[in-house]
Amino acid sequence: MPKAIETALLTTVQVAEKLGASPVRVKKAIASLNLKPTAKKGVCSYFDAVAVRKIAAAIK
């Protein structure tokens, strides 16, 4: 995976697309892991590569 994509911050919907899961499933995984967003801009939460790996593990 290119570094630019790896280090990019992703929204919940983008994480879902990347993992091939539904946004609802990703949101439930985030809640169950009690993850806090890496960054927030307005109402949008953004997650980094470490959080995406944790979400991916929780979905499997």
CA angle 25, 30, 33 (to 5 degrees): 120
Position 5 pLDDT exceeds 80: no
Position 4 pLDDT exceeds 70: no
- Residues 24-33: pLDDT tens digits? 999 999 999 9
State the average pLDDT over residues 21-42: 95
Mean pLDDT over all residues of the chain? 89
Tell me the fold of 3-59. Answer: Multidrug-efflux Transporter Regulator; Chain: A; Domain 2 (1.10.1660)
At residue 48, φ and ψ (nearest 5 deg) are -90, 180
Residue 47 forms beta bridges with which residues? 10
pTM over 0.85: no
Query: Is the Cβ–Cβ distance between 47 and 13 less than 8 Å?
Result: no
- Listed residue (5, 8, 23, 43) closest to 55, CA to CA: 23
